[in-house]
Amino acid sequence: MRIPRANSREKILAAAADVAREAGPGSLSLDAVASRAGVSKGGLLYNFPTKAKLMQGLVESYLSDFQKALEARAIEAGHEGVLSAYIKLSADDCERPKPSASWMFSAIAEDPDFLTPIKAFKRQLFERLKGETDDLGSLLVCFLAIEGMRSMNLFDSDVLSEDERRLLVSSLLKIAG
Amino acid sequence: MRIPRANSREKILAAAADVAREAGPGSLSLDAVASRAGVSKGGLLYNFPTKAKLMQGLVESYLSDFQKALEARAIEAGHEGVLSAYIKLSADDCERPKPSASWMFSAIAEDPDFLTPIKAFKRQLFERLKGETDDLGSLLVCFLAIEGMRSMNLFDSDVLSEDERRLLVSSLLKIAG
DNA sequence: TTGACAAGACCGTCCAGCCGGTACAGTAAA
DNA sequence: TTTACTGTACCGGCTGGACGGTCTTGTCAA
């Protein structure tokens, strides 16, 4: 019954994200992921020898997806600059009602150091944005506001209404110029 | 050996926060909290019958501390308005090198619904700020930027340098002013 | 072309350990 | 006597992980 040559890694990663989102970050167990992915626990452990490796895989795929999406937007936006691309990308990400990265809480519970690559990525992005503008103050406000928007989405927070979010995004785009 | 009439509840709450901060949110077990608080497990369960009650206690004390601090700042700041008070309070909170609310991740792992009171509080705060300004766009940017700052601190993120944080705060105060 | 065989991908079971929670007898201050 | 614990002993469930077996695919000599 086993399908040969299936790309199990991606299937497992997606399953892990699904489990964390739907059952809560505290319920991200290997058993749950395996059954969700349609894979035995042994098979899961074959692809990711430890839970830590699974988390690491989640972080890496998150980061590479993000980078790819950002690059695509940056090309698409062209002269408007990377900051605008980042704003729009984040706005779209936050449009989705359900947070797609609840697994991050599981990763933090496992070991807070899993966030290190994400922090490094953000710092790198910030440096890149710094080279694009001469008003550091505005950039900081913009960058942090996006961060706030993303964190609210992560926490599944409905503090802002849709209208408010739209207004926020347009205000940010105005600041970004 | 028991100190009479000690306020164990607060001691336990503080111990729980300490454990989460120092050993990581995934290591917040009842045993760890009890031993950290210098209390037996029986004593801990006497004060908080379940782990969920402990989390709830953490959230409630966090919220009441926050509200008290904000009120104090608001009176202190006087005519400058609540938004300025909120900015300054958050800036000071984020000055502290170690995040004081890692327990929040433990709470989310336990049950994401523990955040509901916090979301409600934030919404309430936002409504209050809305009544103070006529430029909703600027308020949104400010509010979200603060949110971003707080979340970065929560994630123990050193993405921003001290200088950058200072510049951010002054930019925010300028927008708010 | 075929057959042997190693490597790759995965299954299913088992286990030791930890965690939340219970139970209960004792104790010292108020 | 009541309140507020201490301390110990215990339990059942779940979890991460180890392990041995199984099926599949690729390779290569005969």
Q: Which residue is nearest to nucleotide C27 (CA to C1')?
A: B2
Both tokens assigned to B141: 């940017």
B39: exposed, middle or buried (Cβ count in 10 Å: 0-12, 13-18, 19+): buried
Phi, psi of A121 (to 5 degrees): -60, -45
pLDDT tens digits, one per residue of A24-66 = 999 999 999 999 999 999 999 999 999 999 999 999 999 999 9
Distances in whole angstroms, Cα of residue B12 to Cα of each of A58, A83, B34, B35, B59: 34, 45, 7, 10, 13
Nucleotides of chain D touched by protein CB (<7 A) = 4-9, 14-21, 23-25
Both tokens assigned to A160: 């802002």
Q: A159, B119: Cβ pair inside 8 Å?
A: yes
What is the rounded CA–CA span in Å between residue A40 and residue A93? 32
Judged by DSSP in three states, A8 sits in helix
Nearest neighbour of B108 by CB, restricted to A105, A122, A149: A105
What percent helix, strand, coil does chain B show, rounded to 5? 80, 0, 20
Q: A105, B110: Cβ pair inside 8 Å?
A: no
| CA distance to partner chain A, nearest, from residue B28 (Å) | 9
| pLDDT (0 to 100) of residue A157 | 87
| pLDDT (0 to 100) of residue B6 | 57
- pLDDT over 60 at B1, yes or no: no
pLDDT tens digits, one per residue of A70-126 = 999 999 888 889 999 999 999 999 998 888 899 999 999 999 999 999 999 999 999
- DSSP 8-state assignment for residue A132: T
Mean pLDDT of chain B: 93
- pLDDT over 90 at B47, yes or no: yes
Calculate ∠ Cα B127-B129-B135, nearest 5°: 105
Which chain A residue has the Cα nearest residue B99? Answer: A112
- The answer to whether residues B92 and B142 touch, using CB atoms and an 8 Å cutoff, is no
Instruction: Provide the pLDDT confidence category of residue B25 given band limits of 50, 70 and 90.
Output: very high
The arithmetic mean of pLDDT across residues B61-78, rounded, is: 94
Judged by DSSP in three states, B72 sits in helix
- Full set of structural domains in chain B with CATH: 8-176 (1.10.357.10)
pLDDT tens digits, one per residue of A61-71 = 999 999 999 99
% of chain A residues with pLDDT over 90: 86
B166: exposed, middle or buried (Cβ count in 10 Å: 0-12, 13-18, 19+): middle
Q: B140, A160: Cβ pair inside 8 Å?
A: yes
With contacts defined as CB-CB under 8 Å, which chain A residues touch B175?
Answer: 141
How many of the other CB atoms lie within 10 Å of CB of B71? 12
Calculate ∠ Cα A48-A112-A39, nearest 5°: 20
